[in-house]
């Protein structure tokens, strides 16, 4: 009973976070569930409410999606997500998490210092960034942080940033979830009540977060995203070392 209350509360917070900075559901919910269910089961279980809440957020912000960035960045993210989901059972979690953490810490520091403003992703760089973010998503179920870090290299407004990041997230989910379903159906079947609780919580948080997004000043939005990326990176680094 208490566990379900905690999960619901965290799910609401993760949904609100995702609506504000473009990621948070997988990044927050996966470690919480991994404590009791294990990492691989947690990745599979979180994928379903992540897809539902992300699809709802995408529909809510559909008018702000940058189609050009979505096509270039999103197509490679989908390909990377497919590769990552196929490989996630074979790659050592500790080593992967440490690499992932290092990338996030560097990206967060670059965003907070303003160094990322000198980096604009165009052409080949945008394709590579999309592919890498999708691959990490398939591998560790936490593509949001690295995706948002890469999207900071594009000249997007806060609404367009979150909307485009969300649309890319939907694409990645569409290619990785079928693989998860094939490999982890037993975990899903055993945890359907828990999945329902998380889904309800993330949708509730998404509704709250989308409304709050409009009140965040444009000039501090990138700093908020960068700080969230840095915190996520430090959390992954701690997890990798201990």
**How does pLDDT run across 49-77, given as a tens digit for each residue?**
999 999 999 999 999 999 988 888 888 88
Residues 64 and 47: their CA atoms lie apart, in Å, by 24
Tokens describing residue 149: 């870090």
Is the predicted pLDDT of residue 12 greater than 90, yes or no?
yes
What pLDDT is attached to residue 194?
A: 93
34-48, 73-87, 101-115, 147-161: range with lowest mean pLDDT: 101-115
Mean pLDDT of the chain: 81
Is the predicted pLDDT of residue 44 greater than 90, yes or no?
no
**204 band by pLDDT with thresholds 50, 70 and 90:** very high
Is the predicted pLDDT of residue 130 greater than 70, yes or no?
yes
Whether 203 and 53 have beta carbons less than 8 Å apart is answered as yes
Count of the separate structural domains present in the chain: 1
What pLDDT is attached to residue 200?
A: 96
Domain that holds residue 96: 2-241
161 vs 151 pLDDT, higher one:
161
Specify the residue for token string 């709250």: 208
Residues 10 and 172: their CA atoms lie apart, in Å, by 23
* Average pLDDT for 27-55: 84
**How does pLDDT run across 172-186, given as a tens digit for each residue?**
788 778 888 887 888
51-55, 68-72, 138-142, 153-157: range with lowest mean pLDDT: 138-142
What pLDDT is attached to residue 61?
A: 92
Nearest residue to 141 (alpha-carbon basis) of 222, 218, 49, 60:
49
Whether 240 and 97 have beta carbons less than 8 Å apart is answered as yes
∠ CA(21), CA(23), CA(28), 5° rounding?
A: 120
Whether 73 and 129 have beta carbons less than 8 Å apart is answered as yes
- The number of helices, as runs of H, and strands, as runs of E, in the chain is 10, 0
Length of the chain in terms of residues written: 242
Is the predicted pLDDT of residue 81 greater than 70, yes or no?
yes
Residues 100 and 132: their CA atoms lie apart, in Å, by 11
Nearest residue to 143 (alpha-carbon basis) of 186, 82, 220:
82
């Amino acid at each position: 009973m208490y566990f379900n209350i905690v999960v619901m509360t965290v799910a609401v917070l993760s949904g609100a976070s995702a609506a504000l900075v473009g990621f948070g559901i997988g990044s927050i919910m996966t470690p919480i569930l991994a404590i009791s269910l294990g990492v691989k089961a947690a990745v599979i279980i979180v994928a379903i409410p992540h897809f539902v809440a992300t699809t709802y957020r995408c529909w809510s912000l559909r008018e702000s999606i940058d189609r050009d960035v979505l096509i270039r960045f999103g197509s490679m993210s989908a390909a990377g997500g497919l590769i990552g989901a196929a490989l996630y059972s074979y790659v050592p979690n500790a080593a992967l998490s440490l690499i992932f953490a290092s990338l996030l810490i560097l990206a967060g520091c670059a965003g907070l210092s303003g160094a990322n403003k000198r980096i604009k992703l165009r052409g080949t760089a945008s394709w590579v960034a999309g592919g890498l973010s999708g691959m990490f998503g398939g591998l560790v179920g936490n593509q949001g942080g690295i995706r948002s870090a890469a999207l900071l290299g594009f000249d997007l407004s806060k609404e367009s940033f979150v909307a485009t990041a969300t649309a890319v997230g939907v694409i990645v989910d569409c290619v990785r979830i079928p693989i998860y379903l094939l490999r982890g159906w037993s975990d899903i079947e055993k945890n359907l009540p828990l999945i329902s609780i998380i889904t309800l919580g993330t949708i509730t948080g998404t509704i709250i977060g989308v409304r709050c997004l409009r009140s965040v000043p444009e000039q501090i939005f990138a700093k908020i995203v960068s700080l969230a990326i840095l915190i996520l990176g430090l959390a992954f680094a701690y997890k990798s070392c201990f």
